[in-house]
Structure 1
Amino acid sequence: MPSLSQSLALGYVIVLQVLYLSFGTGGGIIIDLVLAAFIAVPVTAPIWLIASAVSPRISEAVLPGRPIEYYMTYKHPANFKYRGKRKIPMATFCQTYLDGDVKMDGDTLAILEKRHDWASFRLTFGFIYFALFKLIPKVVKDLYFHDDGYIHPAHERLDLGILRGFLGPRMMYTSGLVRDTNQQESLEEPENNKLGVICEKIHLNPYDRVLSIGYGWEAFANYARRIFLHVPFTGLNQTGEYTNIPHIRGGYKKIVCTHLAEHKGPGNFMALHMGPCEYADFFQHIHGLLADNGIFFLEVSGANESWQYEDLVWRLLMAKYVCLDAVPYASLASLIQRLDSAGLRVNRMENVGRHYSETVRKWYGNFVRNREALVAMYGSKIYRTFEFFLAYMVIIFGQGSANTYQIVVTKNPSSVNRTESELEVEESYRDLCE
């Protein structure tokens, strides 16, 4: 990642130029802001380009050292300048691959695992243009005017069929919990492990009124009713519908949210992620729905505050080709701060990113097995897009560039004595670890 000295140097360059021009023109704060807006782009862009090109790899893994032609075949070789040991920027490769101008010679996931042998993670002019003039304005706009009707243009044709292509019949868009990576488990086994852990973490009992949010809530309801036959459930697939959840007297004793998702248009599942800009309102609403002595189980993906250029490139690729709202993942610190601001108290947090990586690996296997049907229904470009990003998600979450957190939360009223319940949580947690 850029060092503190690099970040400070960039800031000093911009500030000094703004001050010089401001004093020269006799302008005030408005002039300063206007000058900063015009100076920041031409100063920042080349610094980003140079820094991303010269930053060394952090990993010390030994690379095979094979030429780029070993991993891929160009459709029109004469049009490409990346040959031999000259590495192709990942942004350029992604666009070329999705357009069908290059073919990976082997399994996509296997080749991406060797990506440092043939790809670089320097930023390109196209990436910087996208970040400065499309992504950042969209994020800033969402802070004030969230566009619920926005659909990524690449996915206007999509429906839940593409989700079924990799999630399977249970449609659980959430991390499983893998007990043994040395055994070949079906997708349903880690899913069942996860559902059992949720029931234990929320101390489910037959008298609870449960609200379940996220794709696969039906599977959770069916699993819970195998333990307690008549547990009353209210469920919805997407958090974008949370304002329509009926309030009940006394509140829900247990709320489970395994996926922050929004509905963006009829029959369309994109964007698949609620952006951090909406977290505050969502958590405030959850606070109003939850009983004073209730438990809220939240699973959410988050980014690291420290990063390297591959992490940045990955997030920009996701924003450009898959889901604009999925990119500004909140860090764990900002996520907990939002929960705290909503009057919610974090009792337990676990990072299950490695489990999520193994879950996505199983999704990727399902997707590849359904290739013919998916290509026939959605076309080869849509298939390549999801194949590429599912494979890359296995890597990103596996190496810790992004994380998935399971957080057990309660309300924080002074009128509730939590000594007994927190001791039960501690005992349950020890049992899970044994």
Structure 2
Amino acid sequence: MDQGNTAFMLIAAALVLLMTPGLAFFYGGLVKAKSVISMMMLSFGALGLIGVLWVVYGYAIAFPGAEGLIAPWSIDWSAIGLSSLLETPEDAAYPPLAFVAFQATFAILTVALVSGAIADRAKFGAWMIFAAVWATVVYFPVASWVFNFGLAEDGSFAYGGWITYGMQEFFGVGAIDFAGGTAVHINAGAAALALALVLGKRVGFSKGAHVPHNPPFVLLGAGLLWFGWFGFNAGSELAADGTAALAFVNTIAAPAAALLAWLLVEKLKDGKPTSVGAASGAVAGLVAITPACASLTPIWAIVLGVVAGAVCALAIDLKFKWGFDDSLDVVGIHLVGGLIGTLYLGFFANGTGLIYSGDPTQLLVQAIAALAVLAYSFVLAYVIGFAIQKTIGFRVKDEDEIAGIDTVVHGEEGYKLETV
């Protein structure tokens, strides 16, 4: 067993886990003051719930072995409760549980990302039911499509999920998604769009009606997200090597460029660059570089960051033009940013991208992967959310939303000012 790589993976897992509390601060600062506890609790609720489900059966669904190529919903029954993974084979590079822990943090974060679309108006209990069902029927199978792989005894590729490996059978190349542009960001963004449509618009929804109550929280959250993202991207190599180093550098370059691009768009469009814009731009760049971090030169990573920052800065206004209330711009940042990063590889991926090979096949398989995950997640998220709304109710009453749902749902206030 390689203790260095094992330590690398465990540290990366801890970094990614930190992203969910970071997301809670990022989202919490963006909502109104009377909803900050409720908003942050959606992330912490996902942390608790998905952490348990992953151990009980999530890993067994997401990593079913060779069956995942044909039937991604298959279950490795021996992995239920992780009992079969407690011992480390003598020839293993790292303990199986290190990989389990690393992938658990991806599942937790992906579910938490969805919550940004339903800020200020969602019941906590309904959200927890949605999170459990969506993770089970959407995230765990999609993770299998992207991340499930295995090696033969001679170290050669043996099997894998249909997105990253299965399409090689038909097209000669599989889709590239190093750290989860499809499985995490397109997946979460599509589900967020579905829930925004199911729950409807907030009371008084219009441009400028809902402003962030705490920009310092937003900046703190973005900083924690960026810090954790090094584990997210570099850690996906599962080894401390040159590929991990490339992913690490690109995780600096792309979001830095996206931050600047977002601020420039804000300056040109609205006259002032904002702190929330800086944080949002950095996150947009992080989203876009996620699938591409190990397949681009640093210069092309900067170009990707510029494109993602500028386009996402414009895309967040689509909700006002098209009439859906994606409260915290999960669609504009994660869905759009994920699509940009995934499709960009079709042009600029080292070796196989169109500009290197002259062959559009890589672009084709990237598009198939992106659209398949988008459609699958959107449809099932809409069905699950609609069923919850029509049975127990997903949305709080209008009067509770206006008053602020922290005290109604959790019996707490984010800010308690007392006079002496």
TM-score range, shorter chain: under 0.3
Using CA pairs under 8 Å that are at least 6 residues apart, name the structure with larger relative contact order, 1 or 2: 2
Q: Which has the higher helix share?
A: 2
* TM-score, structure 1 as length reference: 0.24
Q: Which has the higher strand share?
A: 1
